Amino acid sequence: MGNKNLKQYKIILASGSPRRQQFFNDLGLDFEIRLKDIEEIYPKNLQGVEITNYLAELKAAAFQDELKANEILVTSDTIVWHNNKALGKPTDYDDAFSILKTLSNETHEVITSVCFKTITKTETIYDITKVTFKELSDDTIHYYLEHYKPFDKAGAYGIQEWIGLIGISKIEGSYTNVVGLPTEKVYHYLNNSI
């Protein structure tokens, strides 16, 4: 890491996602995890990136009175955006099946916002990746849901899993963003904007 300013900070990752935690490890960042239960509700008039920005900032606001002068908090939120609708984590098996049927043979956007918060400032960045699924048969969807249980993932799928290997025909933009964190943008921000 080339940023001397960053060395003065302790990075706090407020995410229970093992994928985001692994990315932070892979980026060579020293960090600690702090979690809070946040009800992820947003105003219905928000669209696309407005939703993820709002939720990432909502998660950061929960730590408002706890941050110390040498800490930088990182929160994030990911949605799948398709046909002007946000697809979050599925509520159950049937919902997951319905989501994947909707994404079959279509292109959708994966939007991730990342909020960086210190005691003096809050900044949010985002990334958008376009993902195209080939046509998915019912049997393919059932197999994936039964074997991989992607119920904790926005859009009911993980691109790094079997469905991504056999079902995704095209991706435009950051792959890691689809997994849940636009690592290139996060690394650049931490090295250049702190």
Residue 172 and residue 156: Cα distance in Å, rounded? 19
Active site (annotated) includes residue 94: no
- Nearest 5°: the CA angle 86, 178, 135 is 75
Residue 109 and residue 100: Cα distance in Å, rounded? 14
Residue 182 and residue 159: Cα distance in Å, rounded? 14
| Residue where the block lists tokens 């928000």 | 46
Structure tokens at 75: 């929160």
Strand runs (DSSP E) across the chain, as ranges? 10-13, 31-33, 71-82, 85-87, 107-117, 122-133, 168-172
Q: From the candidates 37, 77, 138, 139, which is the catalytic residue? A: 77
Active site residues: 77
